[in-house]
Amino acid sequence: MKLVGPARSFPRRTVKGVDGYAVGNNGSAEQDHYFAVGRRCRHLGADLANGAIAKDGCLVCPWHGAKYDVSSGRMVRGPQGVFAKIPGLGALFKGISAVVPLGRAKVVKQGDDLYLDR
Ligand code: FES
């Protein structure tokens, strides 16, 4: 397992890059929930470690706002802005991510630290 860092450096609704993963915490007020998904957006390759976590817990791409379910690695909302106006584009990328979802790794908390378990 690889040390990620202290859990306190991942407060809720934060995401950071750790090697090839976007590691974050999309937990609720009651409980932290850590995740790790591949960093490259399936649309045009933006670094998802620079994304944001929406209120519904999805990871939002920093470039065009595609949303990912971090538990499955699948895109659940296609690219926004001008890309949302292209018929079928969102469905195409959602379909691609259903076949080739973002890679995922387990994030394990041991003591006060987080580890990536690949
Ligand atoms: S690069 Fe992620 S939505 Fe376009």
Distance CA 8, CA 87 (A): 43
* Atom 3 (ligand 1) nearest CA: 64
Q: Which CATH architecture has domain 2-117?
A: 3-layer Sandwich (2.102)
- pLDDT 10s digits, 7-45: 999 999 999 999 999 999 999 989 999 999 999 999 999
Average pLDDT for 97-114: 97
Average pLDDT for 68-93: 97
Domain boundaries, the chain: 2-117
Helix (H, G, I), strand (E, B) or coil at 98: helix
- Pocket of ligand 1, beta carbon within 6 A: 41, 43-44, 46, 61, 63-64, 66, 79
Which atom of ligand 1 lies closest to the CA of 45? 1
What is residue 103's DSSP assignment?
P
Q: What length does the chain have?
A: 118
Share of the chain above pLDDT 70, in %: 100
Higher per-residue pLDDT: 60 or 118: 60
- pLDDT 10s digits, 60-69: 999 999 999 9
So what's the pLDDT on residue 118?
Answer: 83
Distance CA 111, CA 80 (A): 40
Distance CA 118, CA 97 (A): 20
Whole-number Å distance, alpha carbon 44 to ligand 1 midpoint, is: 5
